[in-house]
A and B are shown apart, each in its own frame.
Chain A
């Protein structure tokens, strides 16, 4: 494996404690940056590093920071998205649990860059151990004066609040997260206005993913050019890839942006389990379009996967071998999306539920081939007509599984083998929801 940057402390026992992390360099960079560099210099370095948001959308981080109005009379907030809800993704969890000081250091530098004195970490409610480790790290940082009225004695004030989510996937969408943080229902907001102008409590706000912010100290320490060189053109740095499914060694791998998907599976994750044949790979979390076995010669970065008609998303790589039933896969995908739609937009609310009913019908051996076309129509109609991109994300599995594995879907329907599944489901007491 290449150089461990973000993951360098993952295997060090008790690295979440300041007593272990600090001798290993934690806060060194922040101490040098705060008060010494101008905030714009920090932003410019991040901009030059080609760091792109690692939460899924890949938006250039430095550019996002520049959207904060210069002359704002209102406070500026930094919000860290630690909701990590995308199925197949568990990378942020490692940072939160194993090396939270890395994140806090990133927050100090990033907040300084955007002129914020208050940051929030919105952490997925199910992440209990990560939360505990994170909160104790925050407490330690406060106790040492690394957070609070005067960070490192520099006079720069910084407050950090850890807020636990309550289990809705949609609260990972940044504006839904803001509503949730404000104590409201987790409904994504209409855009414009964008959060950099009207964000948390109506104030300018930057929302970044945990991993994105964890990269920042390393960029400031080693320079933009170093970071850029680590990755592929236009995609700076390394990335934590969560590899799951039918591989010999599932886990989180830190590798340079642009690593070939084939290498990720065969070189790093030990290849397909039991030497079975590969059937398909979802490269970027449940929302990403699926790749067939013969489509895996792609570079794992934003541009490479976009060119392959899918996306890097959360870099949650789900590997499926020849035993996987695509109808069943789609059943679980539509089940997930219909359960998690926030329900605001009619195309998404009704479309996800409707699609899941149709897929369930097929899965239970009660569907028809015509249902496949209806599903494709529903998916197409859901796309591009909603408040957030959840509806698009819900459409993509439907479209890609059915179009890429059409013969298998038709065979499943015609063969009637779903009847056995129905009996099984009945026995298990499974319902549409």
Chain B
């Protein structure tokens, strides 16, 4: 460890660490454009100038290693002057078109100008004109070359992370231009990240462009449910809008830094999947007896389940459910009703996997399901469905999934013709929901609290960003009310309480609570 001083305060940082990382850890503000902790150091923007005592000139913190006894000033007159000078150069050819720029509000040029700008610009000459103003460089991203400050983050991202090498900087001097290579387009499953890391409005997300000024957005921490990686995300939403099919409440997803999971990135598959939150949702209760309120519906379903002969009913649980919900599924169906036919994993739904983040298991909580439900190997969803298909079951409870997308074609019709009662509890309106006798609308992941366990056994929180669509309710709430109605007092008012109970009963979760999990997750003590 090296003992250093930053702005008068002492810190102890690992030997040889980059000064800019030490400054960040000290929670001291320092402007930067080109530096990104997930990419190689380019040192080209030159703005992270700091004063280091005994050095003749200010130096860039991103290419300076700490040494024992280093005394650093990030905001001394000398440091500030240097930062201001660099900023003035950066703005010399910038179009200053903030009023029509979609990045406004989250632009580092704008931010730093407010903090470090010289309010007396000297540049009064013709700015360099560049060819590409708002030109699509691929299906997801728009490029505006005049706004680009040539920090090369996007180039390094496509060189070092995706290794797809679409971007390059062409020409020299002040006519240097960022562009895709001739004949190429930016088309890879991580393309959306370049809009996140572009510090200015040069690369913007075509999906989000001009949807909304960013200062009107709310943000909630969550986890992407797209695969078993569980990339940490922020859900950006418009709080005041009620759910209306095909009108977005959720505006976009942004990756949230988690060094142990997704670093700073997320894949496009996950990023643009947010649309399902506001599309084709099941929003109303439907039962055989015509219940319209939750009280009536819960009573009806509880009566149905209680009366069902255990060996003649089956459950298709879901690895898309939270740990809390899976705990209640287990409580109700395995421990209380003692139904033997339970399954959750749907083989055949697996998709592509890569070396970066994407996992082929497209469920966010397979690990949680396997530990909590603790089913024998023979008891998968396939075997439950096989029983249903053979006419061995009278009733089936399906969570979330659409049977028409599982197994062989025609499975849903076959099951429907053999099984007398189908209860569907889920958030999407699809063929299975339509074919069910009872359908209860469930909140989706963006509308509830809970936790997922990723493929590495990391338990991570999801949080409610927007209220449930229509009459929908979180699954844990529906299940806890059904349990209470059946006669087991599993009454919880918050997901957090369910988790507490789960942690007390399941050794893997021992010692965890929502605080311990925090925003970065906590790893199972035992697998």
Q: Are the C-beta atoms of B86 and A433 separated by less than 8 Å? A: no
Cβ 8 A contact of A377, one of B49, B58, B122, B149: B122
Residues of B within 8 A of A343 (CB): 150, 169, 171-176
A345 within 8 A of B: yes
Separation of A324 and B126 alpha carbons in the complex (Å): 29
Q: Are the C-beta atoms of B86 and A338 separated by less than 8 Å? A: no
Residues of A within 8 A of B453 (CB): none
Residues of A183-230 at the interface with B, using a CB-CB cut-off of 8 Å, are: 185, 190, 192
Stretch at the interface among A62-70, A74-82, A351-359: A351-359
Q: Are the C-beta atoms of B89 and A350 separated by less than 8 Å? A: yes
B356 within 8 A of A: no
The DSSP consensus for interface residues of chain A is helix
Stretch at the interface among B37-45, B137-145, B234-242, B398-406: B37-45
Q: Are the C-beta atoms of B89 and A381 separated by less than 8 Å? A: yes
Q: Are the C-beta atoms of A338 and B174 separated by less than 8 Å? A: yes
Interface centre among A339, A346, A350, A352, by most B CB within 10 Å?
A: A346
Q: Are the C-beta atoms of A381 and B41 separated by less than 8 Å? A: no
B93 within 8 A of A: yes
Complex: chain A residue closest to B65, CB-CB: A192
A361 within 8 A of B: yes
Q: Are the C-beta atoms of B174 and A353 separated by less than 8 Å? A: yes
With an 8 Å Cβ cutoff, the count of chain A residues facing the other chain is 32
Residues of A within 8 A of B57 (CB): 384-385
Q: Are the C-beta atoms of A346 and B172 separated by less than 8 Å? A: no
B306 CB, min distance to chain A CBs, angstroms: 71
B484 within 8 A of A: no
Q: Are the C-beta atoms of B86 and A347 separated by less than 8 Å? A: yes
Cβ 8 A contact of A381, one of B63, B85, B149: B85
Q: Are the C-beta atoms of A374 and B122 separated by less than 8 Å? A: yes
B46 within 8 A of A: yes
Separation of A347 and B169 alpha carbons in the complex (Å): 17
Cβ 8 A contact of B125, one of A192, A354, A381, A385: A354
B82 within 8 A of A: yes
Cβ 8 A contact of A357, one of B58, B126, B169, B176: B126
Residues of A within 8 A of B123 (CB): 354
Residues of A within 8 A of B58 (CB): 385
Complex: chain B residue closest to A358, CB-CB: B125
| Chain B interface extent, by class | 20 to 34
Q: Are the C-beta atoms of B41 and A190 separated by less than 8 Å? A: yes
B90 within 8 A of A: yes
Residues of A within 8 A of B173 (CB): 338-343, 349, 352-353
A168 within 8 A of B: yes
Cβ 8 A contact of A347, one of B85, B125, B175: B85
Complex: chain A residue closest to B82, CB-CB: A385
Interface centre among B126, B128, B174, by most A CB within 10 Å?
A: B174
Interface centre among A185, A352, A353, by most B CB within 10 Å?
A: A353
B124 CB, min distance to chain A CBs, angstroms: 9
B310 within 8 A of A: no
Q: Are the C-beta atoms of A346 and B149 separated by less than 8 Å? A: yes
Complex: chain B residue closest to A373, CB-CB: B122
0/1 interface trace, chain B 355-385, chain A, CB 8 Å (1 if under): 0000000000000000000000000000000
A420 within 8 A of B: no
Complex: chain A residue closest to B90, CB-CB: A346
Separation of A124 and B128 alpha carbons in the complex (Å): 30
Residues of A within 8 A of B42 (CB): 190, 344
Q: Are the C-beta atoms of A345 and B44 separated by less than 8 Å? A: yes
B302 within 8 A of A: no
Residues of A within 8 A of B88 (CB): 381
B269 CB, min distance to chain A CBs, angstroms: 32
Q: Are the C-beta atoms of A347 and B46 separated by less than 8 Å? A: yes
Q: Are the C-beta atoms of A353 and B43 separated by less than 8 Å? A: no
Separation of A385 and B85 alpha carbons in the complex (Å): 10
A136 within 8 A of B: no
0/1 interface trace, chain B 144-177, chain A, CB 8 Å (1 if under): 0000011000000000000000001101111110
B412 within 8 A of A: no
Residues of B within 8 A of A341 (CB): 172-174
B92 within 8 A of A: yes
B47 within 8 A of A: yes
0/1 interface trace, chain B 85-120, chain A, CB 8 Å (1 if under): 110111011000000000000000000000000000
Separation of A377 and B81 alpha carbons in the complex (Å): 13
Known A346-B90, A350-B92: A387·B43 in contact at CB below 8 Å: yes
Cβ 8 A contact of B46, one of A345, A352, A357: A345
Q: Are the C-beta atoms of B46 and A346 separated by less than 8 Å? A: yes
Interface centre among B44, B47, B63, by most A CB within 10 Å?
A: B44
Cβ 8 A contact of A351, one of B82, B89, B172, B175: B89
0/1 interface trace, chain A 157-191, chain B, CB 8 Å (1 if under): 00000000000101000000000000001000010
Separation of A252 and B49 alpha carbons in the complex (Å): 43
Residues of A within 8 A of B174 (CB): 338, 341, 343, 349-350, 352-354
Residues of A within 8 A of B89 (CB): 346-347, 349-351, 354, 381
Separation of A338 and B89 alpha carbons in the complex (Å): 14
Q: Are the C-beta atoms of A433 and B175 separated by less than 8 Å? A: yes
Residues of A within 8 A of B46 (CB): 345-347, 385-386
Residues of A within 8 A of B168 (CB): 185
Complex: chain B residue closest to A360, CB-CB: B125
0/1 interface trace, chain A 323-347, chain B, CB 8 Å (1 if under): 0000000000000001111111111
Residues of B within 8 A of A377 (CB): 122
Q: Are the C-beta atoms of B47 and A342 separated by less than 8 Å? A: no
Q: Are the C-beta atoms of B126 and A346 separated by less than 8 Å? A: no
Separation of A374 and B47 alpha carbons in the complex (Å): 21
0/1 interface trace, chain B 168-189, chain A, CB 8 Å (1 if under): 1101111110000000000000
Complex: chain A residue closest to B94, CB-CB: A350
Complex: chain B residue closest to A370, CB-CB: B122
Q: Are the C-beta atoms of B125 and A349 separated by less than 8 Å? A: no
Residues of A within 8 A of B171 (CB): 343
Q: Are the C-beta atoms of A346 and B63 separated by less than 8 Å? A: no
Q: Are the C-beta atoms of B93 and A342 separated by less than 8 Å? A: no
Residues of A within 8 A of B126 (CB): 357
Known A350-B93, A374-B122, A387-B43: A342·B85 in contact at CB below 8 Å: no
Complex: chain B residue closest to A382, CB-CB: B89
Residues of A344-403 at the interface with B, using a CB-CB cut-off of 8 Å, are: 344-347, 349-354, 357-358, 361, 374, 377, 381, 384-387
Residues of A within 8 A of B175 (CB): 343, 353, 433
Interface centre among B57, B122, B169, B171, by most A CB within 10 Å?
A: B122
A127 CB, min distance to chain B CBs, angstroms: 21
Separation of A339 and B173 alpha carbons in the complex (Å): 6
Residues of A within 8 A of B82 (CB): 385
B310 CB, min distance to chain A CBs, angstroms: 67
Residues of A within 8 A of B90 (CB): 346, 350
Q: Are the C-beta atoms of A349 and B86 separated by less than 8 Å? A: no
Complex: chain A residue closest to B149, CB-CB: A346
Separation of A169 and B169 alpha carbons in the complex (Å): 18
Q: Are the C-beta atoms of B172 and A353 separated by less than 8 Å? A: no
Separation of A341 and B150 alpha carbons in the complex (Å): 14
Separation of A352 and B175 alpha carbons in the complex (Å): 11
6 pairs from A and B in contact (CB 8 Å cutoff) = A170-B172, A339-B172, A347-B46, A350-B90, A357-B125, A381-B88
A-B pairs, top 3 by smallest CB distance, nearest first, are A353-B174, A343-B176, A350-B89
B-binding residues in A (CB < 8 A): 168, 170, 185, 190, 192, 338-347, 349-354, 357-358, 361, 374, 377, 381, 384-387, 433
In the complex, besides A346-B89, A350-B92, A387-B44, 13 extra interface pairs with C-beta distance below 8 angstroms are: A185-B168, A190-B42, A341-B172, A343-B173, A343-B175, A346-B149, A347-B86, A352-B173, A353-B92, A353-B93, A354-B174, A381-B88, A385-B57
